[in-house]
């Protein structure tokens, strides 16, 4: 179904004020992503593009470390907040743009391309185009996070029962294809009631093998494709908050999360908040 990117842009503009809030296990997801990014930075990375950079949670700290950062987002309001957060930095450039079309950048323009949170999942049926563009402009590495279909199946089923008292078509659509569009099925408008502007943008959730296959199809060697923080998703909110308030405990818990994803449940689904699936690729030589 056709995506109205002006509608999507307005939706992201409205979400800018809450972008920096961290709910539930979201802090675990971000911390695990930082661990993955740190593992790449020492491998000759000097220039970075963040696609869907939001208010700058990743791009601004990276710029403060002296890296050359280009921060792209579809939302003018997200960019306004990010510019304010980056005051005093002269090595970060802000660009308004769409993840599905990065033609303003030549091929292999950046050592590392970070495409995280919504910039792939919320391109809906244009997700292949967004991934292709991300890979095209990457010289050394791409790091993508996206929504895990396993978790989204549970979220959709739960929402369907709560709002409609039934299993509606959108649930089967998520199970079979991992896709959503506000106008896709008759019940979808009711399902998105209570979201920002009573709307949920065009959406695609992935299985790990699916995301890895898309990267391989773009000429990438898949270094890693894994979930992020399934252990945290299985813990109660009170325990997670106690861990968050104790730096020593936090480090140990994150180690456990990594070990759980790698050794205990490698086929897990990641955290409930933020994108729970991560893939790292590099161009084949």
Q: Domain ranges in the chain?
A: 5-148+206-228+273-283, 151-198
What's the pLDDT tens digit per position in 87-133?
A: 999 999 999 999 999 999 999 999 999 999 889 999 999 999 999 99
Predicted TM-score of the model (pTM): 0.96
Q: How many CB atoms lie within 10 A of CB 40?
A: 20
The answer to whether 12 and 74 are in contact (CB under 8 A) is yes
Contacts of 58 (CB under 8 A, 6+ apart): 33, 34, 37, 50, 114, 116
Read off the pLDDT of each residue in 177-195 and give the average, rounded to a whole number.
95
Read off the pLDDT of each residue in 214-236 and give the average, rounded to a whole number.
97
Q: Which CATH superfamily is domain 5-148+206-228+273-283 in?
A: Vaccinia Virus protein VP39 (3.40.50.150)
- pLDDT attached to residue 73: 98
What's the pLDDT tens digit per position in 139-148?
A: 999 999 999 9
- pLDDT attached to residue 282: 98
Dist CA 281 CA 144 (whole Å)? 9
pLDDT at residue 171 tops 80 = yes
- In SS3 terms, the chain reads as CCCCHHHHHHHHHHHHHHCCCCCCCHHHHHHHHHHHHHHHHCCCCCEEEEECCCCCCCHHHHHHCCCEEEEEECCHHHHHHHHHHCCCCCCEEEEECECCECCCCCCCCEEEEEECCHHHHCCHHHHHHHHHHHHHCEEEEEEEEECEHHHHHHHHHHHHHHHHCCCCHHHHHHHHHCEECCCCCCCHHHHCCCCHHHCCCCEECECHHHHHHHHHHCCEEEEEEEECCHHHHCCCHHHHHHHHCCHHHHHHHHHHHHHHHHHHCCCCCCCCCCCCEEEEEEECC
Dist CA 59 CA 86 (whole Å)? 9
pLDDT at residue 204 tops 90 = yes
pLDDT band for position 221 (50/70/90)? Answer: very high
Give which of 267, 165, 169, 186 is closest to 226, Cα–Cα.
267
**Percent above pLDDT 70 for the chain:** 100
């Amino acid at each position: 179904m056709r995506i109205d990117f002006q509608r999507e842009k307005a939706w992201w503009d409205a979400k800018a004020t809450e972008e920096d809030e961290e709910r539930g296990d979201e802090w675990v997801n971000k911390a695990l992503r930082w661990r993955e990014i740190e593992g790449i930075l020492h491998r000759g990375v000097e220039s970075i593009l963040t696609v869907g950079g939001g208010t700058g949670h990743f791009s601004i700290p990276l710029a403060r470390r002296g890296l050359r950062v280009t921060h792209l987002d579809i939302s003018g309001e997200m960019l306004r907040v990010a510019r304010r957060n980056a005051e005093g930095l002269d090595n970060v450039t802000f660009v308004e743009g769409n993840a599905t079309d990065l033609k303003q950048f030549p091929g292999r323009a950046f050592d590392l391309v970070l495409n995280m949170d919504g910039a792939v999942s919320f391109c809906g049926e244009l997700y292949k185009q967004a991934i292709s563009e991300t890979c095209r402009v990457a010289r050394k590495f791409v790091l993508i996070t996206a929504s895990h279909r396993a978790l989204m199946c549970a979220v959709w089923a739960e929402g369907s029962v709560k709002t409609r008292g039934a299993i509606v078509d959108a649930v089967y659509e998520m199970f079979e294809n991992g896709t959503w569009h506000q106008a896709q099925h008759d019940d979808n408008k009711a399902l998105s009631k209570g979201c920002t502007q009573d709307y949920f943008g065009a959406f695609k959730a992935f299985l790990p093998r699916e995301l890895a296959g898309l990267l391989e199809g773009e000429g990438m060697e898949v270094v890693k494709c894994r979930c992020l923080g399934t252990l945290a998703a299985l813990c109660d909110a009170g325990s997670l908050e106690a861990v968050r308030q104790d730096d020593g405990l936090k480090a140990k818990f994150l180690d456990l999360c990594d070990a759980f994803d790698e050794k205990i449940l490698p086929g897990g689904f990641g955290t409930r908040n933020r994108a729970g699936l991560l893939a790292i690729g590099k161009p084949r030589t």
